[in-house]
Amino acid sequence: MLRIGNVAVEPPLVLAPMAGITDRDFRLLIRRLGGCGLVSMEFISSEGLTRQRPSTLKMLHFVDEERPIAIQIFGSDPEKMAEAARLVEGMGADVCDINMGCPANKVLKGCAGAALTGDLPLAGRIVRAVRAAVSVPLTVKFRLGLREDAATFLEVGRICQDEGADAVTLHPRTARQQFTGRAEWGAIGALKRSLAIPVVGNGDVTTPEQAVAMRRETGCDAVMIGRASLTNPWIFSQAAALLGGEPYAEPSLAERRTLMRAHFHEVIGREDERTALHKLRRFTGWYTHGLPDGRTLRRRLSELASAQAVLGAVEDYFLAQGAA
Ligand SMILES: Cc1cc2nc3c(=O)[nH]c(=O)nc-3n(C[C@H](O)[C@H](O)[C@H](O)COP(=O)(O)O)c2cc1C
């Protein structure tokens, strides 16, 4: 079992933070399917949080059933990051996570996200300021560095440890790579060997077997999964079964339909029509990936103008597929 400070992460499988995706509804769905030891919120701007921007505050909603939950903040000003961390702690987050991995230009220009792996003194000041501000367990998530010829992850890991972080997560790609190439799992092993605090490995786990393989090959303390959970939200429960030496089951079409229904009803009940339509289209695309005739359904969705119509099309699809 992984312990991050006083938080037990059991099983040692973590839902990755994904902006625009890991909102309350998706986190809850993952939590209810089981097998996930820690869920992560979408990243939260320290500026938005400290200025109490309504769009930022809206994202911060979570419920007790999701726990343990990590809230990730990003920014480049140590004092603002400390203040944001205090607010996150005050909201009851179980873990505060610092983003040092975001490769988006908008974030890099503000010297936040992965830019911090190119400015080690600033990275250190941020971890120190946040550590001094909160007593909740603190983690930092980063990439290899900005570019292939500037891999700083071992130094970043050492700084995080020295400044009092309770664990770190490595997604072993550079910022320049964005999502191209392959995650270099060997770097996770190297980081694990160089640190005393727990290391969470992340990147390109697409099957339950790969989650087990990442742990075995790298010695990481937990495995974080992002994109694969969109097409297979059962991946956590399946990987947890494998980690426990048990076989796992594939979800039936009926189970998939039940999951989509439950998720989509939550979305429609909480979001405005435009947002709901957007989310239902996106998630239907992921949830029906690889299913028979899924492409026909996905093509149909682009012609539908309301969330209810999407819901209806999804029901029709499952009926046509003979889901009981
Ligand atoms: C749409 C999307 C949004 C993401 N948003 C964040 C984020 O807010 N914070 C963060 O640290 N990483 C973010 N990531 C990176 C993931 O947390 C993860 O590191 C990456 O997807 C690699 O893991 P995977 O191969 O399991 O998906 C995002 C990734 C995607 C695809």
Domain segments of the chain: what residues?
2-243, 253-320
What is the three-class DSSP state of 223?
strand
CA of 98 to the centre of ligand 1 (A): 13
Closest listed residue to residue 203, CA positions, set 172, 230, 175, 180: 172
Instruction: For residues 243 and 182, give the distance between their C-alpha atoms in angstroms, rounded to a whole number.
Output: 24
Name the E strands within 126-228: 138-145, 167-174, 199-202, 222-225
Decide: residue 322, CB within 10 A, 0-12 exposed, 13-18 middle, 19+ buried.
exposed
Ligand 1: residue whose CA is nearest its atom 14: 18
Which atom of ligand 1 has the smallest separation from the CA of 227? 27
Which atom of ligand 1 has the smallest separation from the CA of 202? 23
Each of the 324 residues of the chain gets a pLDDT tens digit; together they read 899 999 999 999 999 999 999 999 999 999 999 999 999 999 999 999 999 999 999 999 999 999 999 999 999 999 999 999 999 999 999 999 999 999 999 998 898 999 999 999 999 999 999 999 999 999 999 999 999 999 999 999 999 999 999 999 999 999 999 999 999 999 999 999 999 999 999 999 999 999 999 999 999 999 999 999 999 999 999 999 999 999 999 999 999 999 999 999 999 999 999 999 999 999 999 999 999 999 999 999 989 999 999 999 999 999 999 876
Closest listed residue to residue 132, CA positions, set 99, 97, 165: 165
At the fourth CATH level, the homologous superfamily of domain 2-243 is: Aldolase class I (3.20.20.70)
Residues designated as active site: 102
Instruction: For residues 304 and 281, give the distance between their C-alpha atoms in angstroms, rounded to a whole number.
Output: 9
Closest listed residue to residue 123, CA positions, set 106, 146, 104, 105: 146
Which atom of ligand 1 has the smallest separation from the CA of 16? 17
Lining residues, ligand 1, CB within 6 Å: 16-19, 21, 42-43, 72, 99, 101-102, 141, 171, 202-205, 225-228
